[in-house]
């Protein structure tokens, strides 16, 4: 059992891994023994985060603004030069836009769909040589797409393009899982609920969380770093080798009990 959840020797890339959920995931992978490359739009933030996480293991900063497919292609080329092999791809970088329906702008769609849907697909396509080279029957390569409860149920967030993009990510995950199974690559979606990130900052302050939000969550609390890191480690380790095409909510019961 001691190595059931070990990621020793694995190499991973986590997009958007310098902050928020991405950093929680990156730290978990590092603690499990993986070498991890992280991205962020801002080079200083990316490099500072990699330096701080270096205390946990080998963490490499690869700044990238993933708003275009060309940027994703360039990122993979730089990852290939800096790290080489890829056992784990976590598509976490995301973008949102909120606004009332009467004034929700057309410009709120292209950028959100590009970052949340097209970029993850491009990352998968470009890393297929690396992922396919390391996957075996017993130890497949792993792709994890980060979805959202907003893409599974109506959350009344007035974030129309974001919710649609995450629903697309969930379906794309299933399509990719079916197409890549024969190459010994698993593809799963992790579907977070409400965590203490920038996206929930308006619902909490340093000392408290909006009571209405907590009442909406059956377990009555926000997610913690170990909650999101744990499910990703499971999916990437020997313990999760037989799981593909799954959509796994990590949300305190918002989806399953709703």
Hey, is 90 helix, strand or coil?
strand
Residue 105, judged by CB atoms within 10 A of its CB (0-12, 13-18, 19+), counts as exposed
Kindly give, in sequence order, each residue whose CB lies less than 8 Å from that of residue 144, ignoring residues fewer than 6 positions away. 88, 89, 90, 91, 187, 188, 189, 190, 232, 235, 236
32 token code pair: 């499990």
Side-chain-side CA neighbours of residue 68 (13 Å): 3
- Cβ-contact 158, 100 below 8 angstroms: yes
Question: Comparing C-alpha atoms, which of 37, 32, 237, 6 is closest to residue 141?
Answer: 237
Q: Is 162 a catalytic residue?
A: yes
* CA dist list (Å): 104 to 97, 108, 109, 150, 175: 9, 7, 10, 17, 30
Rounded Cα–Cα distance for residues 113 and 69 (Å) = 11
2 token code pair: 């001691």
The residues facing 88 across adjacent strands are: 12, 142
Active site residue: 79, 160, 162, 242, which one? 162
Rounded Cα–Cα distance for residues 90 and 144 (Å) = 5
Residues that are catalytic = 162
């Amino acid at each position: 059992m001691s190595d059931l959840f070990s990621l020793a020797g694995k190499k991973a890339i986590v997009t958007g891994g310098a902050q928020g959920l991405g950093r929680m995931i990156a730290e978990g992978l590092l603690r499990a023994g993986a070498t991890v490359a992280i991205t962020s739009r801002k080079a200083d933030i990316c490099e500072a985060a990699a330096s701080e996480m270096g205390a946990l293991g080998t963490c490499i900063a690869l700044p990238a603004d993933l708003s275009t497919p060309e940027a994703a292609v360039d990122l993979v080329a730089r990852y290939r030069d800096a790290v080489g092999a890829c056992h784990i791809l976590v598509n976490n970088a995301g973008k949102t836009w909120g606004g009332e329906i009467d004034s929700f702008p057309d410009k709120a769609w292209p950028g959100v769909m590009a970052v949340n849907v097209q970029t993850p697909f491009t990352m998968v396509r470009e890393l297929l040589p690396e992922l396919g080279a390391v996957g075996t029957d017993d130890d497949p390569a792993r792709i994890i797409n980060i979805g959202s409860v907003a893409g599974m149920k109506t959350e009344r967030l007035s974030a129309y393009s974001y919710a649609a993009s995450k629903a697309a990510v969930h379906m794309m995950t299933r399509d990719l899982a079916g197409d890549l199974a024969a190459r010994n690559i698993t593809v799963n979606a992790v579907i977070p609920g409400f965590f203490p990130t920038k996206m929930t900052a308006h619902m909490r302050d340093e000392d408290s969380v909006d009571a209405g939000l907590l009442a909406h969550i059956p377990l009555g609390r926000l997610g913690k770093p170990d909650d999101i890191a744990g499910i990703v480690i499971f999916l990437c380790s020997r313990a999760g080798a037989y799981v593909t095409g799954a959509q796994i909510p990590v949300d305190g019961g918002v989806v399953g009990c709703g």
